[in-house]
């Protein structure tokens, strides 16, 4: 059984974000109630974290690039002399290109969270107490970034 509430909460968070365990399963594994796990999920905004981790910036950009490619393929499939992009296609292409550039230039919450997880895992192997302390600060930082 997990020793402290901080340990329980940290382990519960990892289970919630990285696995598809139910709240009941998480509660059982860490030795607390489903209601407590539910409160931690709500207060810590774990649902947002889980979603942000599952969809990376690279995946979003790849999807946008596919959309631009589809627009260009559609235009190229038209008869010669009619292959110019329509105003709507050109507008969509410009908007997608702009969004791609913005995503490439900004570190998204997904990137921030992924780096934090990797660092926490690395730190746990070296010093568990420092990892716990870091994890508390990291949670506060992520909550601030989600505002």
Mean pLDDT, range 112-139, rounded to an integer: 87
Residue 106 confidence (pLDDT) above 70? no
Say how many residues make up the chain. Answer: 147
Concatenate the DSSP letters of all residues of 64-89 into one string. Answer: HHHHHHHHHHHHHTSPTT--SPPHHH
In the block, residue with structure tokens 């997990």: 2
Give the pTM: 0.45
Tally of CB atoms within 10 A around 92 = 15
More confident residue, 20 or 64: 64
Residue 39 confidence (pLDDT) above 90? yes
């Amino acid at each position: 059984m997990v020793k402290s509430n901080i340990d329980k909460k940290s382990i519960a968070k990892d289970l919630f974000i990285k696995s598809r365990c139910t709240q009941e399963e998480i509660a059982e594994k860490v030795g607390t109630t489903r209601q407590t796990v539910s409160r931690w999920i709500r207060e810590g905004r774990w649902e947002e974290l889980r979603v942000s981790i599952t969809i990376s910036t690279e995946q979003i950009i790849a999807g946008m690039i596919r959309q631009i490619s589809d627009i260009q393929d559609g235009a190229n499939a038209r008869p010669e002399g009619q292959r110019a992009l329509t105003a709507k296609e050109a507008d969509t292409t410009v908007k997608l290109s702009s969004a791609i550039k913005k995503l490439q230039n900004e570190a998204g919450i997904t990137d921030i969270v992924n780096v934090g997880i990797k660092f926490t895992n690395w730190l746990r192997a070296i010093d568990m107490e420092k990892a716990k302390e870091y994890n508390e600060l990291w949670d506060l930082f992520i909550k601030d970034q989600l505002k």
